[in-house]
Amino acid sequence: MEETAYSMLALLYYHENSEKIDDAVLSSGIRYLANNYYKNEYPEMWIAKGLYCPINVVRSSILAVLYKSMLQRQVRPETGIPPALEQVEPVLELKP
């Protein structure tokens, strides 16, 4: 999850500052992160020869992606959320 969130941040940056990336690709990644935000366990990563998963860091990276996508992408006025999140279980209240 953490690696996916960091990859999505990079893709959103590239989309905004360089070439446009297909909306389906971005939407898929955003939906995946939003749907898995409240998991109690995330995959552990190798840190200094040990497995480690700081849940608050992982969740903050996911929130960064959701927030960046909300700022960068067109937000629907009637829902106040990006189109990619319309079919996602509400994990947090996103306000425009």
By three-state DSSP, how is residue 17 classified?
helix
DSSP lists the bridge partners of residue 52 as 45
Place 74 in a pLDDT band, splitting at 50, 70 and 90: low
Mean per-residue pLDDT for 70-80? 63
Q: Are 93 and 37 in contact (CB under 8 A)?
A: no
**Residue 15 vs residues 2, 28, 63: alpha-carbon distances, Å:** 20, 15, 18
Task: State the alpha helices, DSSP H only, in 1-96.
Answer: 2-17, 23-35, 55-72
Tens digits of per-residue pLDDT, 15-70? 888 998 888 888 888 888 888 888 778 878 777 777 878 888 888 998 898 888 87
Q: How confident is the model at residue 11 (pLDDT cuts 50, 70, 90)?
A: very high
Do 45 and 2 form a contact (C-beta atoms < 8 A)?
yes
Q: What is the pLDDT of residue 10?
A: 94
